[in-house]
Structure 1
Amino acid sequence: MAELDGLRGLMFVEDVYEDLELWYPRLRLVEAGATMVVAAPEAGRRYAGKNGYPCVSDAALDGLRAADFDFLVVPGGFAPDKLRRMETVKTLTRETFQAGKLVAHICHGGWIPISAGIMAGMRCTSTPGIRDDLVNAGATWEDREVVVDRNMISSRKPDDLPAFCREIIAHLARR
């Protein structure tokens, strides 16, 4: 029996996502037993990664409910800047967080929790490029490979993915 058997996770994808920040956690979490659903504006569409690796979405964002998932992982790249403008993305993120479920984000993925209005009073990290955005949203930013604060886990960049995934799995395994 794997650590995350029976858990269902959600990820978002749109063009110009950071390839490693989607694929590494997705594969690592599946390996740990979770079922992962990658959602996008359109189901079954091929989205191009920042470095050229494609991802075909499993589901369309419209119609998804936070109640149907146990956690959310938000990859970075420039996709989060497009995704955070969609009400469905903000609602899924906010409802996941408010239900006490894990919201994990890496690099530019922090833009989505900012737009969902859930960063006030949280400790987190990200790429330095969105540090000011997080601070202006009420978060305390730390320059560390991974920051865990209650039901939020954050990391800075692809090099931090081993620590990011380790903390996500440890958090979810304690359920």
Structure 2
Amino acid sequence: MANELQGRTVAILAADGVEKVELVQPREELQKAGARVEVVSLSTDPIQSMSADINPDEKLDVDRAVADVSADEYDALVLPGGTVNPDNLRADATAVAFVKAFFTAGKPVGAICHGPWTLVEADVVKGRTLTSFPSIRTDLRNAGATVVDEQVVNDKGLVTSRNPDDLDAFCAKLIEEFAEGKHPVHPEGATA
């Protein structure tokens, strides 16, 4: 359906090192579903994307700097992967606070591959079930998450997938959850 997300605005938070396909495909699918999508980063400079996490790909345009936005402006958030991308994001207090604000407000969030690394820094995975790229699963468990090896996992508005091979399922679940909207907020700030 082409208008499931009509009237919704989605932020894709990414930095240098982002896996190109994990940003581009969700953006395209969300736009096809009617959402307005903005790429948010640490600055408004174009970000260096990667292919297969090791080969530099094209520079991608950024719409807004994270310091100039608020989670209140968006209905949902996507965190693409790439090894370096979430490492850059989790080292930035403003980016981490931006991510946490979506959970505090009960807004849906999607994270793929290494993207959940930023969720660890935002302290929002405790008691949640999710999946990720295998190399960060220990970090997720140590932060209190239950980690499973499945194509796509939805835990009350938190949609996660393992890698680019899961993008079709990930995007379909994002659209479904983003159309559903807010979820009840857990007392600790993570959605219930």
Interval containing the TM-score (normalised by the shorter chain): over 0.9
The 3-state SS of whatever aligns with 1:39 is strand
The residue that corresponds to 1:68 in the other structure is 73
Shift in Å at residue 53 of structure 1? 2.6
Partner Cα distance (1:111, 1:168) in 2:
18
The residue that corresponds to 1:59 in the other structure is 64
**AA aligned opposite 2:63:** D
Write out per-residue CA displacement over residues 25-51 of structure 1, whole angstroms, 9 at most, x where no aligned residue: 0111011100111011211x2211112
Partner Cα distance (1:61, 1:19) in 2:
19
The 3-state SS of whatever aligns with 1:10 is strand
Normalised by the length of structure 1, the TM-score is 0.96
The residue that corresponds to 2:21 in the other structure is 20
**AA aligned opposite 1:72:** L
Spell out the pairing of 1:57-136 with structure 2 (5 A cutoff): 57-77=62-82, 78-136=84-142
The 3-state SS of whatever aligns with 1:53 is strand
1:159 is aligned to 2:165: yes
Contact map agreement 2:17 2:48 (CA 8 A) in 1: yes
Structure 2, unaligned runs of 5 or more: 52-56, 182-192
Partner Cα distance (1:102, 1:161) in 2:
17
Write out per-residue CA displacement over residues 111-150 of structure 1, whole angstroms, 9 at most, x where no aligned residue: 1111000000000000001000000000000000000001
Partner Cα distance (1:150, 1:12) in 2:
20
Normalised by the length of structure 2, the TM-score is 0.88
Contact map agreement 1:97 1:151 (CA 8 A) in 2: no
Please report the RMSD computed on the Cα atoms of aligned residues, expressed in angstroms.
1.0
Structure 1, unaligned runs of 5 or more: none
Aligned length: 174
**AA aligned opposite 1:38:** V
Shift in Å at residue 54 of structure 1? 2.0
The residue that corresponds to 2:48 in the other structure is 48
**AA aligned opposite 2:68:** G
Partner Cα distance (1:53, 1:140) in 2:
35
Write out per-residue CA displacement over residues 137-169 of structure 1, whole angstroms, 9 at most, x where no aligned residue: 000000000000012000000010000011111
The residue that corresponds to 1:147 in the other structure is 153
